A = this chain, B = another copy of it.
Amino acid sequence: YDNVIQPGDNPDITKERKTASFNLWKMQCFVHEGEEIVKRRKEILDFVQNCREFDDPIPAEFMSREEIIDRGARKAKAMTDNADAIDGSDFFGEGLYFQSLTIGRELHCMSLHYGMFLPTIQGQSDDDQMDEWMAPTIGRAFIGTFAQTEMGHGSNLTKLETTCTYDPKTEEFVLHTPTLTATKWWPGGLGKTSNVAVVMAQLYTNGQNMIQGPHPFFVPLRDPDTHMPYRGVTLGDIGPKFGINSNDNGFLIFDNYRIPRRNMFMRFSKVLPDGTYVKPPHAKLGFGTMVFVRSIMIKDQATQLGAAAVIGIRYSAVRRQGEINEGAGEVQVMDYRTQQFRLLPQLARAFAFLFAAYEIKTLYMDVIDQIGAGNMDLLAELHAVSSGLKSVVSWETAQGIEQLRLACGGHGYSRASAFPDIYTYAVGGCTYEGENIVMLLQVARQDAGKARVRSWRQCTDEDIIHDFEAVARKQIFATYDRLKFFETTMTKKEAWNKCSIDLCKTARMHVKLYLVKVFLKRVAACEDAACKKVMHTLAELYAFDMISSASGAFLKGGFMSEQQADLVQSDLYEMLEALRPEAVALADSWDMSDLELRSVLGRRDGNVYPALLEWAKKSQLNRTEVLPTFEKYLGPMMKEGRSHL
């Protein structure tokens, strides 16, 4: 605990750290999947802290859009210059961490170069293309992006409008934006940074649209020397967003822009020089890149929610407000039951998501191995699990961050807290729901039985899982019946649409079941008894909180009795009480340095108030005592006002 408790720390936070029942180091190793990783985190942190290239003259919060764009480009270069500091093959672990330390919660201008462009080169090129494009991609000879979404089409990729038409006379493809809504819109780094892109477009050859859905092409956009767009290419930034403004998300319009035939990615399908189209062996292979991004996203979302929980918990340990017993002095706000209820279930959620991310990573690795061996069986499962999880995790992460922010009162609204930046960054991950539910309906119809969870002290992990499974199945059963009923009077698709609210509910419950299962499984594998005990309570808090907020589903049909529902509620309060003394140490177990957190409220040392004043003094507006607005508008106005008195 040497690094975490230091002289000069806020005594309230030190007191909290001393009440924990477990060894912090052991818990950190459990949370981060092993000693080796926690040590590497320390090494990477030391490296970044000692490297002047990563310093910021002023914190990013105080910068204008132009300044954070400049910062983002500078940091992206510095980070990739120093790529040797980490294991570049481990983006899920070291890459994501390195980026958060060097750049923070901003997708920099090369995010898509590494996150989507490079994987597409790797996954979609044939051997010759790999030889040509891989070295310059790795060697930063150009900067790429991934241009898929259009102004008029996001989720429905089969209807993308950009066309790519083969011209056998010149052996070239002609890229074109036939309508305004076909304008490529949103790709990160497209506006100002990238000079090449993977462009997804409808392929036409011999006068026919040859493939269901879009096909990827390698497209040079800007002159390497002048950075000016090529003729036939119109590019720009799409303007300010909720967050992630250090990225120049862009738009792109083609006017009959020509590229060589071999710029079509040809690993899976081809167009021969005469225009003959050669089919891919498996229709869905093109979507591998999206799945990769989704898997990483779940880890990232878990980390953002974790950071918000760390900030909320630490601040609630040092913030004193109001008295519980009159005259006894103001208490730490964490002593309030309502505050515990705001903080601890969110902390539990963050762990649940982190552990789910580990599971998905493992599944992803298995899929990659199997695809390499020509086996596609697991791809559908990975697709279903990762998109279901992404939908639930991103929405609950966003909600959780806001609840934690609000739990910090007014100061949570200041960017000093980091909450606004965490929220706007994380909520970018939220998207549509409701797809990929079909798999869930395949679960067999089973009798729901009776609830086993009776009270916290008596129920086992199996009881909890049994009850979640039963309720999830009951929902699937009911939804399936409703769907079949509708199908007797309308088309399948119409019936699907009519049932879609129930389908989403069902899918969400299924994902929650998955999350509870994974959490309990992970905890069961924990080797240290003290860590295991606390983590187990946290997993139970997670499950009971979900049962409590879905009590309607559990009470339905008398599956759970009212008495059981009341017990769940009072058990929840007991769990909060049991976890109260562990809260700050559990926050510490995320091993988030002040550099990673970037939050005045979440500081390790708990000395929030002096830091808040120091931070505020850096405000753009404090550079001069009197702003130009006084001379321009307000001074003359008041002078006139005084003259009338």
Chain A residues in the interface with B (C-beta under 8 A)? 61-62, 64-66, 69-70, 73-74, 76-77, 80, 109, 135-136, 139-143, 149, 151-156, 159, 180-181, 183, 185-186, 191-193, 195, 224, 226-229, 236-242, 248, 251, 320-326, 330, 335-338, 341, 395, 398-399, 402, 406, 409-410, 413-416, 419-420, 423-424, 427-428, 430-434, 491, 493-494, 497-502, 504, 550-558, 562, 565, 569, 573, 609-610, 612-613, 615-622, 625-630, 632-635, 637-642, 644-645
Contacts and interface: CB of A to CB of B under 8 A. Distances in A.
A237 B632 contact: no
A157 to B, nearest CB: 10
Nearest to A625: B228
Contacts of A324: 493-494, 497
Contact of A338 (B135, B325, B504): B504
Nearest to A240: B415
A64 B62 contact: no
A619 B237 contact: yes
A413 B428 contact: yes
Contact of A154 (B321, B555, B569, B625): B321
Nearest to A320: B152
Contacts of A415: 239-242
B241 A414 contact: yes
Given A141-B638, A143-B638, A241-B414, 10 more contacts: A64-B64, A65-B620, A73-B634, A141-B641, A143-B634, A151-B613, A248-B627, A335-B497, A555-B556, A556-B565
B224 A638 contact: yes
A625 B141 contact: no
A147 to B, nearest CB: 14
Contact of A562 (B153, B409, B556): B556
B180 A74 contact: no
B434 A136 contact: no
Contacts of A227: 626, 630, 635
Nearest to A644: B139
B420 A242 contact: yes
Nearest to A627: B192
Given A151-B613, A337-B501, A77 B633 contact: yes
Contacts of A70: 628-629, 632
B497 A337 contact: yes
16 contacts: A62-B240, A64-B65, A66-B620, A70-B628, A109-B629, A139-B645, A143-B634, A151-B613, A152-B609, A193-B629, A325-B493, A398-B402, A399-B399, A409-B432, A552-B565, A555-B555
B413 A241 contact: yes
Given A562-B556, A633-B73, A434 B181 contact: no
B74 A632 contact: yes
A634 B77 CA distance: 7
A228 B631 CA distance: 12
A616 B184 CA distance: 13
A338 B500 contact: yes
Given A135-B645, A186-B410, A501-B338, A61 B239 contact: yes
A224 to B, nearest CB: 6
A557 B562 contact: yes
Contacts of A414: 238-242
B180 A609 contact: yes
B610 A180 contact: yes
Contact of A615 (B239, B320, B424, B428): B239
A399 B401 CA distance: 12
Contacts of A432: 409
A621 B241 CA distance: 13
Contacts of A620: 64-66, 237, 240
Which among A240, A335, A415 has the greatest number of chain B C-beta atoms within 10 A?
Answer: A240
A107 to B, nearest CB: 12
Given A192-B621, A239-B619, A139 B69 contact: no
Which among A239, A551, A616 has the greatest number of chain B C-beta atoms within 10 A?
Answer: A239
Contacts of A154: 321, 409-410
A552 B569 CA distance: 12
Contacts of A330: 156, 159
A613 to B, nearest CB: 7
Contacts of A320: 152
Contact of A322 (B156, B237, B420, B427): B156
